Amino acid sequence: MPLWLFPTVLAVAIIVTMVAGIWLMLHLTAFARTFAGHADIVPSPRRSRASQRTVWLVLAAFAAGLMLTLAVEILAMTGVANAWIH
């Protein structure tokens, strides 16, 4: 496995997580409308700018990027990544 693979995967995962998180924060009305009625979340009276399907897709991208970031970090900390590179 090439040496540049793990830093590249980590950078892409971090960028995906950051972009998805920023998108979710900018579209809080759509996020609240998707989860209305759960855990005392009340949507605003304004109409949301994004569909529920888009919110779920971005939430899935956020979760996937976060899990991939954690997986790469754990592989690097335990030394497994070093064994794959050599």
Structure token pair of residue 22: 């920023």
Q: What is the pLDDT of residue 21?
A: 97
Q: How many domains does the chain have?
A: 1
> Which residues constitute the domain of residue 54?
5-85
CA distance 81 to 11: 16
Helices (H), 3-51: 5-26, 28-34
pTM for this one? 0.82
CA atoms of 33 and 47, how far apart (whole Å) = 9
What does the pLDDT read at residue 22?
97
Residue 39: what pLDDT?
A: 66
pLDDT of residue 80: 83
- Residue 3 to residues 12, 17, 62, 83, 86, Cα–Cα distance (Å): 16, 23, 26, 11, 9
| pLDDT < 50 positions in the chain | none
Instruction: Tell me what pLDDT residue 41 has.
Output: 66
